[in-house]
Amino acid sequence: MGVSLSKTISAILAIAALLQTIGPVHAQLSKADKERVAASIAADVNREIHRQLSDDTALREKVISRLFECGYVFLYISKQAGAIERKAEIQDAGEISFELAALLSGNMPVDRFKQIGNAATQSIKNKFAAPITQAGELEMNILSKNCQSFQKIDAVSGAVAALLPPVVQDSKRIPIEFANELQECSLYYTLLATALILRVPKKSGPLSLDDQDAVVKSQVYMTKSEQIDVLYRRLALLAGAESSLKQRREIMFEKEKRVMTDKWIVRRLDERYKDICEYILSDAGSKARLKEISEGNVCGRLYTCW
């Protein structure tokens, strides 16, 4: 139990880093502030649930269950790892998650709400107590990304979509979906390269070692982007989707720039893309991702739908 718990704490500390996009470092929010944040997010979650399904009971219960899981994990981290940076935000995120769950329950009977909450909490406790495996770490990573998405209004649609039941894809859609994801990764690496180059002083004379390193890394990222670009264009050609992918590139470019904000906060891109891009660009990961897409798991794994 002790070893497993220790490893689990190490694994889920990554969530703390993910939460850095919630906002600037702050003192703990007041109860009224947390309620106001939760109410704002709840309105968007409700709209998204209604948009996805006319009979939304099952999806609503899934969302509430996930929020209980998120709340427990966030508060657990804040208590167990007292020295980590941004402790206040992590605790706030946990309390906001629980408040969200309550707001989304609507007319749900109190007994059912408690039943969902107890089952979700016990599920997380069981995960913490179980031996750490590669599959378990991946599952926790997926959970952390979904929890993060429920904390940000601009990511709510993806957070809800991740909890939808899988829909088996038409075989013609599989290469298109995979090409979509590759396209996003190509743009991701282009922006990483650009961010590094922007750091290098525009002056004549020898560069510092740090600047030389930035130039080399930028070239590596650009090469990777170009290689991915060739691959996704080939897939688009085979699927007869060249024109739609071309149009989508401009849309995705604008979305990725908004993720970074005008301050070029590159770590926000990493939070969204690093894991999924490394996953699908590996031999085993690309095969696994194609299988996931064919089984209908387009959203909800490492990939967060917009």
DSSP string for residues in 185-232: HHHHHHHHHHHHHHHS---SSPPPHHHHHHHHHHHHHHHHHHHHHHHH
Q: CA dist 89 to 12, 18, 100, 155, 197, Å?
A: 15, 11, 16, 18, 32
- Model confidence, pTM: 0.64
Burial 31-46, CB ≥16 within 10 A → b, else e = eeebeebbeebbebbb
**Using one digit for the tens of pLDDT, what is the confidence trace for 163-185?**
887 766 667 778 888 888 899 99
Q: Using DSSP, state whether 170 is helix, strand or coil.
A: coil
The CA distance from 197 to 272, in Å, is 21
Q: Mind listing the pLDDT tens digit of every residue in the chain (306 residues)?
A: 333 444 444 444 444 444 444 444 455 678 888 888 899 999 999 988 888 776 778 899 999 999 999 999 888 888 775 555 567 778 888 999 999 999 999 889 999 999 999 999 999 988 888 887 777 777 887 888 888 888 877 778 888 888 887 766 667 778 888 888 899 999 999 999 999 998 888 777 788 888 899 999 999 999 999 999 998 888 888 778 778 777 888 888 888 888 788 788 888 888 788 888 988 888 888 888 888 888 877 776 677 776
Residue with tokens 């930028």: 218
Using CB atoms within 10 Å of the CB of residue 99, give its burial: 0 to 12 exposed, 13 to 18 middle, 19+ buried: buried
For residue 188, what are the contacts with CB-CB under 8 A and spacing of at least 6? 225, 256, 269, 273, 277
**Using one digit for the tens of pLDDT, what is the confidence trace for 47-98?**
888 887 767 788 999 999 999 999 998 888 887 755 555 677 788 889 999 9
